[in-house]
Structure 1
């Protein structure tokens, strides 16, 4: 959970100095470990090499341990990426660059605090946090009543101190138990798209018209700013990209919340199209490539899945092939590209069934899920 801190100017200065100090220390540990251990930056080896030096620099015991663990985790991630080929083959420029120098941390990168370094006062809505200038007490934070209740009941373990867009946040780990899944009476099929972000088999449509206008406006502003080719323009582009990503996430959260609420109220499961590899399988016009590649379809599905797990709604993914070209009428099932003469309209060439194409796709997704749920619930052979 993201909790916004409201520090005073003096407290903000101490927090800034803390992040700068611990990240400088992490860079020093990274360089030392790279020189003496290469990419094998394991916790025990780094602790024996660097712990005493970190203590001499004024870091507390817990802060020093967290710095060492951050560096070790970063090198473990790098080794994993190399092993799985995520940085290219042996000898590729990207892999050689990663292997030839120590990992570097940004001076304002997030840092981890455990319960010894950070304590919460929920009644006063304040935290007490360790800094290089001593313990800061009564640092105010903002939280809605529901968020505060979640923190009180479910917060566990560590929290990350984050400085982003001139604001301070604590990312607190909350362990919320999942509800057991109920046996669905039926399913709600969800078809995801660009012009209609989501359409359910109940004919509920979440239109993307306003979002598409917003994104076209953002694209025009992006082109204007890119034409300036200055450092300030680059910073502004990064800021606007984050704003657009937050806007998309907000819309996906709203859609996912509504879909899960309907499924929970009607005791139905949720069926989604399996869109893995959709960008490689589907060919679109040149003017639609950027739109298709940039909209977070996977994020919407992930939001629906995790919100459903919290309330026990079963979710299943089904094959997405021809869901908008197949007639959903029982006894027909005719599949043909001509069944969809336009983007928004479906008309079966065999039986004459007609309607909105996205609703038809949602119904087909639901029908495929029905068969899958029957299969899943069948007793398995021993």
Structure 2
């Protein structure tokens, strides 16, 4: 499993100037390579390398940085063509698609640049790096980070590292690779329901929300509306402040999601249980929201929270599943009842079964139903099946009851 660790560089003014010049040179060269690729219609990395490698070397790029520039451009065009094939840019004559394909791809002057171990070396004990720059090899650039992250970096770093310039500071984002812990049979499951009011509610009844967070989100919405009004009036400073505030809100949301996911995974690992979430792909297109909920629903990264829970669970060896979200908040969790009706939700926060009278917080009820579905899915995943030789085997971990039904229909 691959993860990334970010560390902050602490360069001297001379070292910072060399790093800035390096990003500027590499990204200027990338724009030139992109123009050549667009003009010749050549987007494959090896063919593009034959066209531009000599020119990149003449510009002062060493061999490895030149190859990284070429690969960065080739990957950008590969991503663009994948978006076109997937229909994400509209039809053949759509305005968005014409705009994307009518000119070469360009990158910012301070866009990230990848480095491999030939161009960048780490001295973990001294907490310094040595890196190739446009002004030659620069050594003894100090870096810092959270102690746990630094230890993880020292033990598991493998692969490329990106040099990033953001908010006047330089960062290194390093790739780490760890062996995934073998999956064990869970004693039970923790169902997790993600929502607008309560960001995450578990089947144990734990609500991961808070009045402080709700106040923060309301205040940010008011400030954002004020800045957007000033931006519409032509204020350039309001546009800059709006961009900085968006970054600040994203960092705050990521921090909250990290804390929530860490708490859930820690609880599951301590009790020997697995974690089950709703499969929420396409949720923005499926749900109908009240007007005052739309901004909240669109502004919080619910998918990020699920991703954090998933990778932390895999890293800790905790089983993880995603289950069908249909009617989880309308179905009675009582085993002998199971009544499902929209009227079981008299309001947003309350569940009350119209058949058996079972009642409780709606988010907790949804989490309980997610837990029950995880038990069923895991039973199918772990079900022994005959092997071609007549022995007993295990189901494919990707197999679920829904996929079995689709296969039977086919």
TM superposition score normalised by structure 1: 0.95
Q: Would you say 1:359 and 2:364 are equivalent positions?
A: yes
How has the CA–CA distance of structure 1 residues 43 and 335 changed in structure 2, closer, same or farther, with 3 Å as cutoff? closer
CA contact (8 A) 1:75 1:103 kept: yes
Partner of 1:250: 255
CA contact (8 A) 1:264 1:311 kept: yes
Cα distance in 2 for residues equivalent to 1:83 and 1:332 = 47
Q: Would you say 1:33 and 2:37 are equivalent positions?
A: yes
What is the aligned counterpart of 2:312 among 293, 302, 307? 307
Deviation at 1:208? 4.4
Q: Would you say 1:291 and 2:262 are equivalent positions?
A: no
Equivalenced residue count is 380
Deviation at 1:351? 2.0
Cα distance in 2 for residues equivalent to 1:278 and 1:71 = 33
Deviation at 1:381? 4.7
Could you list the per-position Cα deviations for residues 19-57 of structure 1 after superposition, in whole angstroms to 9, with x for gaps in the alignment? 11111111111112222x22x322222222222222122
Partner of 1:100: 102
TM superposition score normalised by structure 2: 0.89
Q: Which moved more, 1:239-248 or 1:330-339?
A: 330-339
Could you list the per-position Cα deviations for residues 268-295 of structure 1 after superposition, in whole angstroms to 9, with x for gaps in the alignment? 1111112222222221111211112222
Cα distance in 1 for residues equivalent to 2:192 and 2:253 = 18
CA contact (8 A) 1:19 1:107 kept: yes
Deviation at 1:196? 1.0
Partner of 2:375: 370
Cα distance in 2 for residues equivalent to 1:122 and 1:140 = 10
- DSSP 3-state at the match of 2:230: coil
**Equivalent residues in 2 for 1:1-382 (5 A)?**
1-35=5-39, 37-38=40-41, 40-229=42-231, 230-382=235-387
Cα distance in 1 for residues equivalent to 2:349 and 2:148 = 40
CA contact (8 A) 2:265 2:312 kept: yes
How has the CA–CA distance of structure 1 residues 306 and 101 changed in structure 2, closer, same or farther, with 3 Å as cutoff? same
- Provide the alpha-carbon RMSD of the alignment: 1.5
Cα distance in 2 for residues equivalent to 1:342 and 1:77 = 44
Could you list the per-position Cα deviations for residues 221-278 of structure 1 after superposition, in whole angstroms to 9, with x for gaps in the alignment? 1121122222221111111111111111111111111111111111111111122222
Cα distance in 1 for residues equivalent to 2:364 and 2:88 = 39
How has the CA–CA distance of structure 1 residues 336 and 32 changed in structure 2, closer, same or farther, with 3 Å as cutoff? closer
- DSSP 3-state at the match of 2:337: coil
How has the CA–CA distance of structure 1 residues 23 and 323 changed in structure 2, closer, same or farther, with 3 Å as cutoff? same
How has the CA–CA distance of structure 1 residues 86 and 354 changed in structure 2, closer, same or farther, with 3 Å as cutoff? closer
CA contact (8 A) 2:6 2:145 kept: no
How has the CA–CA distance of structure 1 residues 88 and 135 changed in structure 2, closer, same or farther, with 3 Å as cutoff? same
Cα distance in 1 for residues equivalent to 2:237 and 2:113 = 27
Could you list the per-position Cα deviations for residues 155-199 of structure 1 after superposition, in whole angstroms to 9, with x for gaps in the alignment? 112111000111110011100211011101111111111111111
Cα distance in 1 for residues equivalent to 2:204 and 2:67 = 54
Cα distance in 2 for residues equivalent to 1:7 and 1:14 = 10
How has the CA–CA distance of structure 1 residues 153 and 41 changed in structure 2, closer, same or farther, with 3 Å as cutoff? same
CA contact (8 A) 2:8 2:171 kept: yes
Deviation at 1:296? 1.6
Q: Which moved more, 1:3-12 or 1:355-364?
A: 355-364
Deviation at 1:131? 0.8
- DSSP 3-state at the match of 1:380: strand
How has the CA–CA distance of structure 1 residues 355 and 80 changed in structure 2, closer, same or farther, with 3 Å as cutoff? closer
Q: Which moved more, 1:170-179 or 1:365-374?
A: 365-374
How has the CA–CA distance of structure 1 residues 345 and 85 changed in structure 2, closer, same or farther, with 3 Å as cutoff? closer
- DSSP 3-state at the match of 2:34: helix
Cα distance in 2 for residues equivalent to 1:283 and 1:88 = 24
Deviation at 1:354? 2.1
How has the CA–CA distance of structure 1 residues 45 and 377 changed in structure 2, closer, same or farther, with 3 Å as cutoff? closer
- DSSP 3-state at the match of 2:140: strand
